[in-house]
Amino acid sequence: MAPNSVVVTIEKPDSSALKVNGLDSSVFLEKQKAVSTKQFTWVLLLKVNRIFACLSWLPMAFRAMFVSLRKRIALSDMSDEEPKSRGRLYKFIKAFLGLSIVALVIEVIAHFKNWNLNLIQPWEVQGLVQWSYMTWSAFRVDYIAPVAIILSKFCIVLFLIQSLDRLVLCLGCFWIKYKKIKPTVAADAYDIEDPSTFPMVLLQIPMCNEREVYEQAIESACQMDWPRDRLLIQVLDDSDDRNLQLLIKGEVSTWNQKGVNIIYRHRLIRTGYKAGNLKSAMGCDYVKDYEFVAIFDADFQPNPDFLKLTIPHFKGNPELGLVQARWSFVNKDENLLTRLQNINLCFHFEVEQQVNGVFLNFFGFNGTAGVWRIKALEESGGWLERTTVEDMDIAVRAHLNGWKFIFLNDVRVLCELPESYETYKKQQHRWHSGPMQLFRLCLPAILTSKISMWKKSNLIFLFFLLRKLILPFYSFTLFCIILPLTMFLPEAELPLWVICYIPIFMSFLNILPSPKSFPFLVPYLLFENTMSVTKFNAMVSGLFQLGSSYEWVVTKKTGRSSESDLLALAERESLSSNEEKILRRNSESGLELLSKLKEQEVAPIPKKKKKNGIYRKELALAFLLLTASARSFLSAHGVHFYFLLFQGLSFLAVGLDLIGEQMG
């Protein structure tokens, strides 16, 4: 390098540390402020442009929604809902809706004309509308508001009691988890190497027109890991379809030829629904040779080790009458309806059944996925046909006779959830009308039984009244009748903690057993309130023994299989050779061949395409709640308005059958 050379290093100036000497820095600050103001103005104009674009889109969206709703109503099937919609409850809701609309019109006119009753004297009244407004205001203060206040306080008390019961159940569940309490089995219950030590077990599959699921039900039962000479499978078919009877007979014959001890039974006189079917099966002479009976509905798919996980609990426990397993659902993620059902049933099994089983040794039998000691059934009077909840009936009678129950939360049996709202609604009607029938019939037996006073109180006040009667009563009355009524009665307004804070907290507790369902917290809360009209109607029907309380509709199944079932099926098909398939085809029974011949001879009858329904009670309540939300908007109620708005939209979606499986 040359001696006179100079090395110059140029560094990037730090704009944050830039200093200007000899100039006033306030000039730069003012310039920066001017730039910021201009940027803010541009952002504001952009926001306004987006708002106007959104407003221009809203009429088109509402028009498209209105057109789709008109199309849905025109194409919907009202035949199933029509007879029920003529009941007293529907007429009451319609009358309430009409009065609400008239009151809303008067309130809107009074709001925009700024009428103040404190400043208007009777002789200053102008026009019929103003006179009607003054008359309505005086009438509601003197006559309607006091009754509404008393009824709302009564429902709030019931609401708090039921919420406390729900909280106690959750605390009991937390205690079970914390202490790791679970039923235990003696280590030497049965000698695995000696099949003769295993007890004799009867396995029953009651079914009625179960075309979609009969094959998987029979296959699951025939693959049970239990000594074949100690197990008898009864397929109790009440189907009225002759071709289906032949198909089921053929399936039973196929498994019988494989060495499975399985028989087919069909009643000539099919009375008493499921209870009559089970009662007829238990009357067979050979039943006396068996000690236990396991019951599975046609859509249930037990694992092969089910009996080995349940039967050992009876060993050394002579007072044990029932072992109930938990349900698991193969289609819980099928649609929004099945997701919401999964939340309810997970809480039912994880919390209600488990807590009652641990602390009371009693709970309602779920009708399937359970094992009974046959002696307990016989001593309790057997299956009776007097209600549509024969499973709850036999459980209550066994409890009154001193038998104990065990619930196994870690033993799960796959089954299906109803995927359409029509099917789910009919199922819920039966589940909520039957307990009220049973309560009327069992109350004298409970009062005169020899069980302790605590167990009697639990049966009457908690099991029946609180969870089967009070829950549907207050949920419908408080949130579907009193709440919209109070929007027109400022004197009887419900506090926020009743309509918002406690319901959200209770819904949060309900979702805890199924943590993956937390995103559906708000839809679950709205849907439960929406279902309250069905549950309330069913409860009243069962309590007063109305005609609809004796309806029994078999829950529709789709025959879905789990992923493990599909993988196992693929593996079996890949391992089987063509020769095995030919041998199996040659070994088909004559009944099955006859059935196939008949199916080929008889031309298939074209089935009427199933359409979505229209549910008028839900629609009437939707318009009632939306009317109340409009009145709430005038009064700027805030949370009341949003709750009524979204609850009304929820009723509207259910009333138009927009939830669950879409039929087309």
Residues with a known catalytic role = 238, 391
3-class SS of residue 210? coil
Of 295, 545, 519, nearest in space to 433 by CA: 545
Q: Are 491 and 651 spatial neighbours (Cβ–Cβ below 8 Å)?
A: no
- Closest by Cα among 158, 86, 234 to 461: 158
Read off the tokens for 383: 């299956």
Tokens encoding 662: 């879409």
DSSP 77: B
Could you give the 3-state DSSP secondary structure of residue 205? strand
Q: List the one residue out of 372, 218, 219, 371 whose CA is nearest residue 309.
A: 371
Residue type, 49: N
How far is residue 325's CA from residue 307's CA, in Å, rounded to a whole number? 11
- C-alpha closest to that of 502 among 621, 643, 641, 635: 643
Name the nearest CA neighbour of 509 among 99, 165, 22.
165
Other CB atoms within 10 Å distance of the CB of residue 43: 10
> Quick check: 297 and 368 in contact, CB under 8 A?
yes
The beta strands (E) that lie in 238-282 are given as: 262-266
- Sheet (strand 370-373) strand order: 262-266, 231-237, 201-207, 292-295, 370-373, 320-329, 404-415
Burial state string for 49-65 with b = 16 or more CB within 10 A and e = fewer than 16: eeeeeeeeeeeeeeeee
What is d(CA 198, CA 226) in angstroms, rounded to the nearest whole number?
A: 8
Q: What are phi and psi of 366, to 5 degrees?
A: -85, 5
Structure tokens at 309: 């996980």
Cβ-contact 350, 173 below 8 angstroms: yes
Tokens read off for 335: 């649609």
Residue 540's CB: how many other CB atoms inside 10 A?
22
The DSSP string of 513-565 is TSGGGGGGHHHHHHHHHHHHHHHHHHHHHHHTT-GGGG---PPP------HHH
